[in-house]
Amino acid sequence: MNAALRMTYREACRQAIRDALIADPRTFVMGEDVGHYGGCYGVTKGLLEEFGADRIIDTPLAENGFTGIGIGAALAGLRPIVEIMTCNFSLLALDQIMNNAATLPHMTGGQFAVPLVIRMATGGGRQLAAQHSHSLEGWYAHIPGLKVAVPGTVEDARHMLAAALADPNPVLIFEHIVLYNAEGELDPGVQAVDLQHARVRRAGRDVSLLTYGNSLPKCLQAAAELAGEGIEAEVVDLRMLRPLDMDTVLASVGRTRRVVIVDEGWKSGSVSAEIAARLAEDALYELDAPVRRVCSREVPVPYALHLEEAALPSVPDIVAAVRSIVPAGS
């Protein structure tokens, strides 16, 4: 039996892209600094030398333009992987993503597919200030016609891309900037993941922590701390924000009867708000306590380290939220 491999989240993303380029000659990568520089976060380092400038394409600083080219390439039968340096900059391509990629299959009665993958960095925690640090994946999860993937583990970073490229619909993959340096084990027995189901990352009986992305390791750390107090928290990694796997969420809530949703987006109009509303609609009588949410403060993400740390969800915030709804001695 092969032993588990240990690698960084960054390397898992890179290997996923490399495998996709090897597997299908229709696949190419396009974005700002993806070639000679190796990607803003080093994910595409070395791919230009291996695959050449026809398949690793450096673009101008024009998100609307190169995202539109990616949509056209997908319509023509290619398999583009478009990298947008940070999700904040994706707003410059919002017209292309929302009014074209997400709608063309529907507006053509299914005659055209848009098998486009857009990768973008998301989240705060690296002192990159407000224009590079927000979590906008919840915005895109609002849009029918898109799939929104948020890999929070090395395994998902390694395998989600292949599933996204195989999908006839546009898929947005949000990679948290803090996770790129994170290390994890990659089970060689796992060769694929799906784009449909959440995963229970830690079983528990007293409260469900529902989360995704870089909030996953924070929730796991909080769960370990709470276990020392006799509180067993179940940690559910949503993984996909559209479609939301509410079956897994409802099953977890049925076991624990208490919920804390941890979402790095702003609380107003967030993924956490959507999940809380669905729980109120479909599981109100399963709950023994109010739903609690831990989100980013409703301010532009600050540059100063102490202010940035105060603005983002933290392990103490999660622990405090759990303590507020789980009776002592549970």
Catalytic residues: 63, 132
Judge residue 89's burial from the number of C-beta atoms within 10 Å of its C-beta, 0-12 exposed, 13-18 middle, 19 or more buried.
middle
Is the dihedral angle over the CA atoms 266, 268, 270, 273 positive or is it negative? positive
Helices 9-23 and 154-166: angle between axes, nearest 10 degrees: 30
Three-state SS for 200?
Answer: strand
HSE (side-chain half, CA atoms, 13 Å) at 129 = 1
**Residues paired with residue 7 on neighbouring β-strands, in sequence order:** 184
Judge residue 327's burial from the number of C-beta atoms within 10 Å of its C-beta, 0-12 exposed, 13-18 middle, 19 or more buried.
exposed
Single-letter code of the amino acid located at 305: L
DSSP 63: H
> Each residue of 195-226: b (16+ CB within 10 Å) or e?
beebbebbebebbbbbbbbbbbbbbbebbebb
Please give the Cα distance from 267 to 271 (Å, whole number).
8
